[in-house]
Every structure is written in C-alpha cells, then in structure tokens.
Amino acid sequence: MSDTIRTFVAVKVVVLPELLAVLKSLAAMRWPVVAVPPDKLHVTLKFLGETPLELCGEIQRQVAQAASSQPPIPLRLEGLGAFPTTARPSVVWAGLVDAEPLVAIAERLEVLLEPLGFARESRPFHPHLTLARIKGRPPRELFDLLRHHAETRFGTFEIRFVEFIRSDRQRDGARYSTLASCELS
C-alpha cells in the first residue's frame, strides 16, 4: 500500500456548446489525437505529483487560503492553439481571456506550497485549457480545425472553486477525484 497519491490543484471548466463541438471533432479524429473527455476539462494551477498522504490536510488548507482572497472569476474561452506550435502540435488548447486572477492564484499556491516541499515552477504560469494531446503525426483535419477556430469565441463562464484533485492512472486514462473544493470568496 502506497503512502503517496498523485495530485494537482486546478479549476474545473464548464463545457460550453461550441467547445463541446470542438471536443467531439477532436475525438472523432482518433489516434494519434487523444481528446480530453468533457467531464475532465480543467485548468491546472499547480501539479504536485506524488504527494504524501499526511500532507493532504495541510495542502487543502493552503489551497483554501489561496482561493479565499479571490472573488469568483468570469473567464472567456477564445481561440484554439497548439504547443509547441500549430505547425508541430503536441497539445491542442483553448485560450483563456481575462485569466489574470488565475495567474494570481497560481502564484499564491507556489508561495504557500513551497514550505511543504513542492518546488516552485521554473517557468511562468500561462493558463490554458488542454483539449487534446497529439501522440504522433496529426491528421490534416487537425490543422483545418486549428485554422477554423483560431479566433472563435466559445463563450464565458464563472470559476467559483479551486479544486485539490487526486489523479489515478487507469488503462483508459486518468480517473480524477476531488479531495477538496475550496470556494472563491
């Protein structure tokens, strides 16, 4: 029996109708395009990785503290892009507009979780919504989809909670379970 679990801190994303259509298009492309299931859409604020079970209560308190100083966040999803580039995609993402409050929460989490042994990220936090991972040479339709939705406005939704999430690897992908849901003030 392991005394660690794999965890991360994130905000869950509402699946807006136009975004759902894009996810269905990505899923229809099949291998090597691996679409994120709609019920697993989230923006990771801090990946913790293997986490000692005895730290989970303190992590929850720190996540709650980071969330408590931020009112609910209206976010707009706009445009599709890819990392590292749209010419050689390995990740397809939807852009987030007015996401500065998420950056602020992520920065607070870096400060609050470092004393618990979670190293600060070496790169600046750039919030994005991962829609798919590309595991090989992408099909032509992917480039068409990226071009067609480069500036699409998918809609606006409100973030009201920051989640402390457990991730268990399964044969068919990760299974997520919320360990704590911390309300924004």
Q: Which active-site residues does the annotation give?
A: 42, 128
The amino acid sitting at 129 is: L
Residue 139 to residue 27: CA distance in whole angstroms: 12
Q: Which residues pair with 176 in a beta bridge?
A: 167
| Euclidean distance between CA atoms 46 and 48, whole angstroms | 6
Euclidean distance between CA atoms 161 and 165, whole angstroms:
12
Which residues share a beta bridge with 134? Answer: 33
